[in-house]
């Protein structure tokens, strides 16, 4: 769940989605850039700082170990709703400012601050973007600290937000893409929490008490990672980190999570949908963050169906046969093994043709691996495009947060190009064979042609 | 999801990667590149802090260089002033189809080779088509600028369109239309809204074209489009990033300088006749949630028009309604009255062609579209009668200012702003004066446009009705507690 609070909606230029869309993909690093500084606050939070004084702005992201995998059974959506509700009012207790939702938002509007939240399977991220000039920055930080430390999680606002989320779900659940993703998660992860998706029923069941206890259990400094990027020096960053991380709940570590279980065989799920296109997802659990096979798989996947349209899948499905506007494959590593997935959409009456082309392309790739020329082209692309992954504060923030949350080494960015370059054809092929098998795949086809 | 943006810009690549935004509809994020120098901030820290240079080659190609040395990368974007507004009935969508064909090879490079060469250099490339332009962009490490410029110049003059490649690519475009329009109820609603609001203007058809026109299109239509519009004197090249203007200039001369200028066809205005009464359209689509859009005729900012102050005031009005989280529509309709679960106000000031000022909403449970429509209109009426507060105005101007600062974080957004201003007929040099004019808008200006622009005679109302709802309005009924 994400609620982005951007400052302005004058559609002065009409490019909002373009801006968001162009910045895709997991980063590669940069050779001559600002270094990452890291330390731990007295309260136990990990802090990462990248100084960049070119623009008078500052981005701060706090990740808590409070992602949707901690949702209790029948409470899917709790993690997301908790993060979402933090900014709907703060308490008036000792050390707390006691602001209503409208006061929070009006204050931010008056100083140009933006607060947003994103929740994925592993963590909840709260973000503040502010001008770095002291009076505005300090006012923004005071509001931000309040929503982290003193959320009221008011019942009345919960009633409203439950309804709005249900409305949003009702919109998306009819859409084939959302239907396919939900079915795919369930097919790939089964009973593991990564496989759950919120629905109108699980959202309707969320109570204020659920939110308060989730907050108390997961929004702790010991499990927080604070990423700071922008116009701010080390001393200021230390003060900011301490201001934001004090007075958070203190709680014991949660129960261990069940392991992600590999698929035992192949499955195929077909769902009806009146849309004109079929949406197809194929995949299985693959690797976790930090897996030693990450780099060989990154390179191998670039050949098979990574970002560009010149991949094998792009060539076979789109360029040669005109079957789809988009076809991709990706590994999505998480704290526990995340999915490998192939996705495409095509006109319903050619869905089986497209699926056959995808399966054949994948089987050939698993059998033979990439050619040397393909491997070289993929490595070239990944290494040469490295500087593009770090050309804005926004991109730095995302990457630094990932490094912090998953405990990747601090020299991760510096060593990234060399590690990509070191991948051999044999390694790429072996890693792919090890983690992807055509006999252990879930296929979801939404908008299946109606049987004759 | 900013419905209008999605509906109007079509891209060659597949950008709609799956996002797990549960609140897709509720989290309407808009990064604005609008600007202002509110609060007496000095102009030096904004627009002109980044050196910008312009020059025009002898063949008429306009080149603008924005230097931003934060990272060793460069973004090249070539804008052609040819979009769906320039199409004729029967071949709608051809601007976008040609955009796809531009990646299908030239006399020198075979199909797919453009992308392969860019990828080998570590670049990423794509393109998009809008009502007023078609643009091609490549992002790359800075030392490769000359190579990508050579590729871009090559396809400006040597495109090879064959019937066979066309037949394959038009299938991809039809899949794109299914994906991004036909299977999206809110996009269907927008398509119907445009087609109803306009009778004569080419703004009436979707950028991606009518499906039937795509089915009838031939390679010859694409070829003709290319020959008509793809000339250096109809293009603006924007290069931004870690570059210096002198070297960009010599490379632009080298690669683009020898391409001859060509006479451009006269643009017939195809002006929309005066609307003389309210129009309505209803779309039934497989959605569980209804939706209403109120669209009033407006115009974009025009440099020499007597009414240009109106465009600034309308921009500020849109922001007063929906420019920050506790702005009027959200505050009144979603929170206080619980009439809506989602609201939006939208107006594009910098554009070529007619514009709509739109108010959109999704009703809360148990509330009807009729109630919602009335409430949206009463928000406009309230401003027309009582004006806006100094505090609201100040908030909007602070948003303009901070969005300008934040916009500098993205080279892409800087390039888009420059290119789209140029395409709309404003020099990039006009961007700062536009900021100043926005910042100078008064409460009286906002009240005045609220009183003048929103008559029923200029209104088109589009409603999305899920198939199971009755066409007559539901009775007002609260679901909880009573």
Chain A nearest-CA distance from B260, in A, is 32
Chain B nearest-CA distance from A53, in A, is 10
Q: Confidence class of residue B368 from pLDDT cuts 50, 70 and 90?
A: very high
**Quick one: angle between helices A372-384 and A294-304, nearest 10?**
110
Q: Are B402 and A131 inside 8 Å of each other by CB?
A: yes
**Partners of residue A50 on adjacent β-strands:** A229
Range 200-259 of A in CB contact (< 8 A) with B:
none
pLDDT digits (tens, 9 = 90+) for B392-403: 999 999 999 999
Q: State how far the Cα of B144 lies from the Cα of B75, in Å rounded to an integer.
A: 11
pLDDT at A93: 87
- Average predicted confidence (pLDDT) for chain A: 90
pLDDT at B306: 78
pLDDT at position B473 over 70: no
Q: State how far the Cα of A95 lies from the Cα of A197, in Å rounded to an integer.
A: 37
Three-class DSSP category at B358? strand
Q: Confidence class of residue A448 from pLDDT cuts 50, 70 and 90?
A: low
Contact list in A for residue B100 (CB cut-off 8 A) is: none
Nearest by CB: A112 against B13, B167, B402: B402
Are the beta carbons of A386 and A421 closer than 8 angstroms? no
pLDDT at B3: 26
pLDDT digits (tens, 9 = 90+) for A41-93: 999 999 999 999 999 999 999 999 999 999 999 999 999 999 999 999 999 98
Q: Are A24 and B17 inside 8 Å of each other by CB?
A: yes
Nearest by CB: B30 against A6, A173, A390: A6
| B3: closest chain A residue by CA | A17
Could you tell me the CA-to-CA distances from B232 to A27, A116, B59, B139, B257 in Å, in that order? Answer: 35, 43, 6, 21, 9
Q: How far is CA A329 from the centre of its chain?
A: 16
Q: Confidence class of residue A251 from pLDDT cuts 50, 70 and 90?
A: confident
Chain B nearest-CA distance from A166, in A, is 9
Could you tell me the CA-to-CA distances from A253 to A80, A214, A216, A224, A334 in Å, in that order? Answer: 20, 13, 11, 12, 19
DSSP 3-state helix, strand, coil percentages of chain A (rounded to 5)? Answer: 45, 20, 35
pLDDT at position B265 over 70: yes
Chain A nearest-CA distance from B452, in A, is 19
Count Cα neighbours of A412 within 13 Å in the Cβ-side half-sphere. 21
Q: Are A18 and B318 inside 8 Å of each other by CB?
A: no
Which carries the bigger pLDDT value, residue B34 or residue B367?
B367
Contact list in B for residue A421 (CB cut-off 8 A) is: none
For B59-92, b/e burial (b = at least 16 CB within 10 A) is bbbbbbbbbbebbbbbbbbbbbbbbbbbbeeebb
Q: Are B5 and A167 inside 8 Å of each other by CB?
A: no
pLDDT digits (tens, 9 = 90+) for B179-216: 999 999 999 999 999 999 999 999 999 999 999 999 99
Q: From A73, A64, A14, A188, select the one nearest B358 (Cα to Cα).
A: A14
pLDDT at position A95 over 60: yes
pLDDT at B252: 98
Burial class of B316 by CB neighbour count within 10 A (0 to 12, 13 to 18, 19+): buried
Question: Stretch B310-323: mean pLDDT, rounded?
Answer: 97
pLDDT digits (tens, 9 = 90+) for A193-244: 999 999 999 999 999 999 999 999 999 999 999 999 999 999 999 999 999 9
Q: Confidence class of residue B474 from pLDDT cuts 50, 70 and 90?
A: very low
Q: Say how many CB pairs under 8 Å bridge A and B.
A: 360
Strands B291-298 and A46-51: unpaired
Farthest CA pair distance, chain B: 77
Confirm whether the ipTM is greater than 0.85.
yes
Q: Confidence class of residue A310 from pLDDT cuts 50, 70 and 90?
A: confident
Chain B nearest-CA distance from A42, in A, is 32
Interface test with A, best of B26, B332, B362, B433 (most A CBs within 10 A): B26
Chain B nearest-CA distance from A35, in A, is 14
Chain A nearest-CA distance from B1, in A, is 8
Q: Does A106 touch chain B (CB under 8 A)?
A: yes
Q: Confidence class of residue B466 from pLDDT cuts 50, 70 and 90?
A: confident
Nearest by CB: A325 against B9, B120, B172: B172
Q: Which residues are CB-neighbours of B470 under 8 A, at least 6 positions away?
A: none
Q: Confidence class of residue A297 from pLDDT cuts 50, 70 and 90?
A: very high
pLDDT at position A304 over 90: yes
pLDDT digits (tens, 9 = 90+) for A123-178: 999 999 999 999 999 999 999 999 999 999 999 999 999 999 999 998 888 889 99
pLDDT at A449: 56
pLDDT digits (tens, 9 = 90+) for A6-45: 222 222 222 222 222 233 233 333 444 458 999 999 999 9
Contact list in A for residue B341 (CB cut-off 8 A) is: 163-164, 167-168
Question: Stretch B74-86: mean pLDDT, rounded?
Answer: 97
Cite the active site residues of B.
Answer: 99
- The strand order across the sheet containing B52-56 reads B10-11, B124-129, B134-141, B73-80, B235-241, B62-67, B52-56
* Residue pointed to by tokens 């017939």: B268
Q: Does A424 touch chain B (CB under 8 A)?
A: no
Q: Confidence class of residue B68 from pLDDT cuts 50, 70 and 90?
A: very high
Contact list in A for residue B31 (CB cut-off 8 A) is: 6, 15-16, 19-20
Query: Which parts of B32-137 fold into alpha helices (H)?
Result: 94-101, 113-120
Q: Are B30 and A321 inside 8 Å of each other by CB?
A: no
Are the beta carbons of A330 and A306 closer than 8 angstroms? yes
Question: Stretch B109-118: mean pLDDT, rounded?
Answer: 91
Three-class DSSP category at B376? helix
Contact list in A for residue B322 (CB cut-off 8 A) is: 9
- pLDDT above 70: percentage of residues in chain B: 87
Q: State how far the Cα of B23 lies from the Cα of A169, in Å rounded to an integer.
A: 8
Are the beta carbons of A29 and A413 closer than 8 angstroms? yes
Q: State how far the Cα of A168 lies from the Cα of B26, in Å rounded to an integer.
A: 7
Nearest by CB: A105 against B115, B180, B326: B326
Q: Does A312 touch chain B (CB under 8 A)?
A: no
| A373: closest chain B residue by CA | B120
Q: Are B324 and A30 inside 8 Å of each other by CB?
A: no
Token readout for B95 is 């601007």
Burial class of B481 by CB neighbour count within 10 A (0 to 12, 13 to 18, 19+): exposed
Q: From A313, A415, A440, select the one nearest A364 (Cα to Cα).
A: A313
Contact list in B for residue A319 (CB cut-off 8 A) is: 111-112, 168
Q: From A249, A211, A177, select the one nearest A77 (Cα to Cα).
A: A211
Q: Are B319 and A315 inside 8 Å of each other by CB?
A: no
Chain A nearest-CA distance from B397, in A, is 9
Lowest average pLDDT, out of A424-428, B22-26, B159-163, goes to: B22-26
* Residue pointed to by tokens 């060989």: A296
Q: Does A120 touch chain B (CB under 8 A)?
A: yes
Q: Confidence class of residue B13 from pLDDT cuts 50, 70 and 90?
A: low
Q: Are B175 and A324 inside 8 Å of each other by CB?
A: yes
Contact list in B for residue A129 (CB cut-off 8 A) is: 406
- Its pTM stands at 0.89
Query: CA B15, B18, B21, B26 torsion: positive or negative?
Result: positive
Query: CA B428, B429, B432, B434 torsion: positive or negative?
Result: negative
Strands of B395-478 (E only): list them. 459-465
* Residue pointed to by tokens 């006061």: A103
Contact list in A for residue B14 (CB cut-off 8 A) is: 325-328
Q: Confidence class of residue B287 from pLDDT cuts 50, 70 and 90?
A: confident
pLDDT at A97: 86
pLDDT at position A405 over 90: yes
pLDDT at B35: 28
Q: State how far the Cα of A136 lies from the Cα of B473, in Å rounded to an integer.
A: 47
pLDDT at B303: 73
Q: Are B399 and A8 inside 8 Å of each other by CB?
A: yes
Question: Stretch A315-322: mean pLDDT, rounded?
Answer: 92
Three-class DSSP category at B340? strand
Q: Are B326 and A23 inside 8 Å of each other by CB?
A: no
Nearest by CB: B417 against A13, A20, A382: A13
pLDDT at A34: 52
In degrees to the nearest 10, what's the CA dihedral of A228, A230, A232, A233? 80
Q: Are B111 and A310 inside 8 Å of each other by CB?
A: no
pLDDT at B11: 58
pLDDT at position B422 over 60: yes
Token readout for B327 is 């702005």
pLDDT at position B29 over 80: no
């Amino acid at each position: 769940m994400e609620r982005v609070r951007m400052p302005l909606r004058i559609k002065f230029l009409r490019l909002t989605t373009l801006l968001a869309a162009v910045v895709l993909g997991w980063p590669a690093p940069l050779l001559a850039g600002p270094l990452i500084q890291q330390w731990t606050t007295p309260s136990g939070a990990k802090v990462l700082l990248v100084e960049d004084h070119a623009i008078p702005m500052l981005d701060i992201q706090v990740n808590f170990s409070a992602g949707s995998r901690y949702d209790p059974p029948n409470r899917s959506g709790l993690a997301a709703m908790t993060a979402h509700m933090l900014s709907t009012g703060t308490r008036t207790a000792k050390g707390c400012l006691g602001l209503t939702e409208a006061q929070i938002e009006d204050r931010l509007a008056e100083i140009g601050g933006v607060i947003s939240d994103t929740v994925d399977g592993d963590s909840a991220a709260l973000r503040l973007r502010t001008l770095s000039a002291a009076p505005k920055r300090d006012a923004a930080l005071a509001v931000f600290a309040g929503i982290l430390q003193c959320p009221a999680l008011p019942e009345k606002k919960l009633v409203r937000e439950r309804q709005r989320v249900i409305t949003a779900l009702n919109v998306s659940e009819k859409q084939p893409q959302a239907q396919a993703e939900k079915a795919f998660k369930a097919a790939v992860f089964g009973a593991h929490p990564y496989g759950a998706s919120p629905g109108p029923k699980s959202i309707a069941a969320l109570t204020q008490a659920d939110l308060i206890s989730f907050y108390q259990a997961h929004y702790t400094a010991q499990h927080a990672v604070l990423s700071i990027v922008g116009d701010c020096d080390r001393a200021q960053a230390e003060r900011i980190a301490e201001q934001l991380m004090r007075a958070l709940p203190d709680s014991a570590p949660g129960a261990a999570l069940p392991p992600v279980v590999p698929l035992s065989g192949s499955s195929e799920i077909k769902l009806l949908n009146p849309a004109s296109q079929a949406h197809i997802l194929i995949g299985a659990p693959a690797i976790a963050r930090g897996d030693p096979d990450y780099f060989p798989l990154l390179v191998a996947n670039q050949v098979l169906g990574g970002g560009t349209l010149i991949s094998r899948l792009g060539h076979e499905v789109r360029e040669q046969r005109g079957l789809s506007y988009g076809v991709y494959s990706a590994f999505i590593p998480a704290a526990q093994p995340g999915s490998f997935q192939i996705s495409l959409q095509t006109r319903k009456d050619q869905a089986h043709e497209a699926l056959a082309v995808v399966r054949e392309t994948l089987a050939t790739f698993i059998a033979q691996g990439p050619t040397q020329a393909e491997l070289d082209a993929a490595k070239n692309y990944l290494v040469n495009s490295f500087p593009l992954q770090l050309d804005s504060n926004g991109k730095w923030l995302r990457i630094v947060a990932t490094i912090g949350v998953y405990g990747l080494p601090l020299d991760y960015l510096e060593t990234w190009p060399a590690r990509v370059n070191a991948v051999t054809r044999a390694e790429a092929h072996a890693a792919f064979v090890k983690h992807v098998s055509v006999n252990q795949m879930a296929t979801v086809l939404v908008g299946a042609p109606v049987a004759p | 999801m900013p419905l209008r943006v999605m509906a109007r810009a079509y891209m060659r690549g597949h950008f709609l990667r799956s996002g797990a935004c549960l609140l897709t509809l509720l989290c309407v994020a808009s990064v604005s590149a609008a600007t202002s120098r509110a609060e007496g901030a000095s102009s030096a820290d904004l627009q002109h802090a980044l050196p910008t240079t312009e020059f025009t080659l002898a063949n008429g190609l306009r080149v603008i260089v924005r230097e931003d040395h934060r990272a060793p990368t460069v973004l090249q974007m070539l804008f052609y002033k040819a979009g769906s507004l320039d199409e004729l009935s029967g071949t709608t969508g051809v601007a976008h189809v040609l955009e796809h064909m531009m990646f299908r090879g030239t006399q020198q490079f075979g199909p797919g080779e453009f992308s392969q060469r860019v990828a080998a250099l570590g670049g990423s490339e794509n393109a998009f088509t809008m009502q007023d332009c078609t643009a091609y962009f490549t992002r790359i490490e800075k030392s490769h600028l000359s190579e990508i410029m050579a590729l871009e110049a090559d396809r400006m003059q040597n495109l090879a369109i064959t019937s066979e490649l066309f037949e394959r690519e038009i299938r991809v475009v039809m899949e794109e239309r299914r994906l991004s329009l036909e299977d999206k109820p809110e996009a269907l609603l927008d398509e119907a809204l445009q087609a109803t609001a306009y009778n004569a203007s080419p703004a009436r058809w979707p950028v991606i074209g009518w499906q039937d026109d795509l089915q009838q299109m031939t390679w010859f239509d694409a070829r003709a489009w290319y020959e008509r519009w793809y000339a250096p004197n109809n293009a603006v090249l924007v290069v931004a990033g870690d570059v210096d203007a002198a070297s960009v200039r010599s490379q632009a001369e080298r690669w683009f300088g020898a391409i001859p200028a060509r006479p451009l066809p006269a643009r017939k205005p195809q002006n929309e006749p005066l609307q003389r009464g309210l129009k309505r359209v209803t779309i039934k689509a497989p959605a569980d949630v209804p939706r209403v859009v109120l669209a009033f005729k407006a115009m974009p900012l025009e440099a020499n028009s007597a009414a240009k102050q109106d465009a600034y005031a309308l921009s500020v009005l849109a922001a007063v309604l929906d420019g920050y989280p506790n702005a009027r529509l959200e505050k009144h309709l979603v929170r206080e009255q619980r009439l809506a679960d989602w609201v939006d106000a939208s107006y594009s000031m910098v554009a070529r062609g007619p514009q709509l000022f739109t108010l959109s909403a999704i009703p809360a449970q148990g509330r009807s579209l009729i109630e919602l429509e009335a409430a949206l209109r009463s928000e406009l009426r309230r401003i027309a009668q009582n004006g806006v507060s100094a505090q609201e105005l100040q908030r909007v101007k602070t948003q303009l200012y901070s969005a300008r600062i934040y916009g500098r974080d993205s080279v892409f957004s800087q390039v888009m702003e420059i290119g789209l201003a140029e395409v709309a007929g404003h020099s990039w040099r006009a961007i700062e004066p536009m900021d100043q004019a926005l910042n100078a808008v008064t409460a009286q200006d906002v009240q005045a446009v609220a009183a003048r622009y929103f008559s029923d005679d200029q209104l088109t109302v589009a409603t999305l009705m899920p198939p199971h709802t009755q066409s007559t309005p539901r009775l007002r009924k609260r679901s909880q507690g009573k």
